[in-house]
Structure 1
Amino acid sequence: MTGVRIDGKVIAQAVKDRVKKAVDEMKSQGITPCLATVLIGDNSASATYVKNKHNACQEVGIETKDHKLDASISQNELNGIIDNLNSDSSVHGILIQLPLPKHLDEFATISRISPLKDVDGLTPHNAGLLAMKKAILVACTPSGVMEMFDYHGINLEGKNVVLINRSNLVGKPLYHLLLDKNATVMTCHSKTKNLKEICQAADIIITAVGDRNKFTLSADMIKEGAIVIDVAISRHNEKLVGDSDYDEIIQKASFATPVPGGVGPMTVAMLLKNTITAASLSSQIGR
Structure 2
Amino acid sequence: MRSGLCSRAARRRRRSVLSGVFGALFGMEMDEQSSRTKHIIVDGNALAREIVTSVRHAVAGFTQQPRVVIVQDTRAESSVGARYVRKKLAAAREAGIEAVTVHVPQEAPSVPEAVRRALQTGGQVVVQLPVADPREREEALALLPPERDPDVIGTRARELFAQGKALALPPVVSAIGHIARRYDIPLFGARVVIVGKGYLVGAPAALWFAQQGAQVTVLSKDDALIPTLREGDIVLAGAGSPRLISADMVKEGVVFLDAATSEIGGALVGDAHEEISKKASVWTPVPGGIGPVAVAGLLENVARLTRM
TM-score (norm 1): 0.87
AA in 2 matched with 1:69 = V
* Counterpart residue number, 2:189: 158
Superposition CA RMSD, Å? 2.0
Q: Which amino acid in structure 1 is aligned with residue 82 of structure 2?
A: A
Query: TM-score, normalised on structure 2?
Result: 0.81
Q: Where does structure 1 lack aligned partners over 5 or more consecutive residues?
A: 282-287
Q: Does 1:144 align with 2:175?
A: yes
Matches of 1:9 and 1:72, distance apart in 2: 32
Contact 2:102 2:114 in 1 (8 A): no
8 Å contact from structure 2 (residues 198, 239) kept in 1: no
| Percentage of matched positions with identical amino acids | 28
Residue 211 to residue 191, structure 1, CA distance change in 2 (3 Å): closer
Equivalence for 2:240: 210
Letter in 2 for 1:40: D
Among 263, 268, 271, the alignment partner of 1:235 is 263
Give 1:36-185 correspondences, 5 Å limit: 36-41=69-74, 43=77, 45=79, 46-70=81-105, 74-75=109-110, 78-88=111-121, 91-102=122-133, 105-185=136-216
Residues in 2 aligned to 1:261 and 1:174: alpha-carbon distance in whole angstroms: 19
Q: Which runs of 5+ in 2 are unaligned?
A: 1-36
* Residue 226 in structure 1 maps to residue 227 in structure 2: no
What is the aligned partner in structure 2 of residue 285 from structure 1? none
Deviations 1:186-227 (A, max 9, x none): 11114533x201011111100111123xx6111111111111
SS at match of 1:147: helix
1:108-134 per-residue CA deviation (whole Å, 9 max, x = no partner) reads 111112221111101121111111111
Name the counterpart of 2:282.
Answer: 255
How far apart, CA to CA, are the structure 2 residues paired with 1:216 and 1:82? 36
Partners of 1:92 and 1:278 within 8 A in 2: no
- The SS at the match of 1:106 is helix
Q: What is the identity, as a one-letter code, of the residue corresponding to 1:241?
A: V
Give the length in aligned residue pairs.
270
Q: Which protein is richer in helix relative to its size?
A: 2
Tell me the CA shift for residue 20 of structure 1. 0.9
In 2, Cα distance between equivalents of 1:267 and 1:196:
28
Candidates 276, 281, 294, aligned match of 1:267: 294
**Residue 32 of structure 1: aligned partner:** 65
Larger Rg: 2
